[in-house]
Amino acid sequence: KKDNEVIKIGFSQCISTDQWRKDMNHSMMVQTSLYPNINLKISEADRSIEKQIDQIESFINEEVDVLIVSPLETKRIVPVIEKAYNKGIPVILIDRKIDSDKYTAFVGADNIAVGRMAASYIAASTKNSINVLEIKGTDNSSPTLERSLGFHQVAERESKINKIVSIEDYSDQKFANVLDTLDVTDFDYVYSFNDILARWAWQVAENKGLADQLKFVGVDGLVGPDGGINMVLEGKLEATVLYPTGGAEAIKLARRIHEGEKIQKNNSLNITLIDKLNADIMKNQYEKISEQQEELERQLEAIDIQEQKYYVQNNLLKVAMAL
């Protein structure tokens, strides 16, 4: 192992716009800044599978030392990932899985467990027989499939859950129609693929004056004004399942793989249920961590500036001595 050898990491991020993805990128960058010899490049595919394939091709051509991928979906991405893997580039999958076992490691939470946790929570928080509306994700990603699967596994066995109606299209109109055509007074809970959809569903219901009759459960549990934790504190969400991004863990894994350490293929991250009983604590913890992160970033910047000053002074000294 050479100490100062630069490790080139390429990260292919499937979606660019939402806060959860931004948090993932950010935690990778913070973790990277702790290791001066890691060079991290992030490419964002804007929800386009073609773009993601191209970006991974570029990483292969650039001969990255480790490739990290959060794949948009399970199937079409397989050939390019196998290509990288067969060339000997270690591949870390993060958050989403693929239909192949040609990758080095997976890091992320168990989405079947996420769905089960939501269903158990809903069943435990009611005494009566209830009906649930499920709003699924729309892509073919493993979280979309598994969060629904896990939810059904538990909910269908719960005697208190009487009926589950699932909708897949999350355009506003579809949900508005559902609210019109179904008797919403017939529903008690709305389980959404993520907090973004839960917020939107809550808004549609609120506009119709129906939000108080429904209880909403989401997934992600981000901090920040639009995040799930605040929605729980505001009473819009009954609960959310904290789904960690794994950004820092992926960088740590990449480094260990590059150093030749033996690592586990499946690296599972913990999930936590957030409801009004622990939302405050979660929020405080998050705020402390991000304060510490900001402090760390400030210190790293200060070191950078000091180093630059040192190099300038050193060079001036050399010039002066040469004169």
C-alpha to C-alpha distance for 189 and 29, rounded to whole angstroms:
38
Q: How far is the CB of 1 from ligand FRU (least distance, A)?
A: 34
**Least distance between ligand FRU and beta carbon 243 (Å):** 5
- Helix crossing, 111-124 with 142-155: angle to 10°? 40
| Type of residue numbered 203 | Q
Question: Of 32 and 141, which CB lies nearer to ligand FRU in the complex structure?
Answer: 141
Q: What's the min distance (Å) between Cβ of 24 and ligand FRU?
A: 8
Q: In what order do the strands lie in the sheet with 91-94?
A: 38-44, 7-13, 66-70, 91-94, 105-109, 266-269
CB 94 within 8 A of CB 68: yes
Residue 141 near ligand FRU by CB under 6 A: yes
- Answer yes or no whether residue 52 interacts with ligand FRU by CB under 6 A: no
Where helices occur in 8-75 by DSSP H, the ranges are 19-33, 49-61
Indicate whether 95 belongs to the interface with ligand FRU (CB under 6 A).
Answer: yes
Nearer to ligand FRU by Cβ, of 26 and 83: the residue is 26
Please check whether residue 187 is in contact with residue 164, taking contact to mean a CB–CB distance below 8 angstroms.
no
Cα–chain-centroid distance for residue 214? 27
Q: How many residues does the chain have?
A: 323
Q: Is 148 in the site for ligand FRU (CB under 6 A)?
A: no
Q: Is 219 in the site for ligand FRU (CB under 6 A)?
A: yes
Write out the binding residues for ligand FRU, residues 184-213 only, by CB under 6 A.
194, 196
Backbone angles phi, psi at 236, to 5 degrees: -80, -40
Residues 12-41: x where in contact with ligand FRU by CB under 6 A, - otherwise, as a string? ---x--x-xx--------------------
Residue with tokens 């570029």: 58
Instruction: Give me the residue whose beta carbon is nearest to ligand FRU.
Output: 194
Taking the least distance from each CB to ligand FRU, the nearer of 175 and 193 is 193
Judged by CB under 6 A, the number of residues near ligand FRU is: 13
CB burial of 215-236 (b: ≥16 within 10 Å; e: otherwise) equals bbbbbbbbbeeebbbbbbbeeb
- Three-class SS state of 39: strand
Among 10, 143, 227, 228, binds ligand FRU (CB under 6 A): 143
From the CB of 147, what's the least distance to ligand FRU, in Å?
A: 8
Shorter beta-carbon distance to ligand FRU: residue 150 or 188: 150
| Contact call for residue 240 and ligand FRU (CB under 6 A) | no
C-beta closer to ligand FRU: residue 139 or 188: 139
Give least dist CB 56 to ligand FRU, A.
Answer: 17
Q: Does 271 bind ligand FRU (CB under 6 A)?
A: no
- Which lies closer to ligand FRU via its Cβ, residue 151 or residue 188? 151
203 CB neighbour count, 10 Å cutoff:
14
Sign, CA torsion 232/236/238/241 = negative
* 36, 61 contact by CB (below 8 A): no
Pick from 94, 90, 91: which is nearest to 27 by CA?
94
Q: How far is the CB of 170 from ligand FRU (least distance, A)?
A: 11
Among residues 44, 73, 146, 220, the one that binds ligand FRU under rule CB under 6 A: 220
Binding site for ligand FRU (CB under 6 A): 15, 18, 20-21, 95-96, 141, 143, 194, 196, 219-220, 243
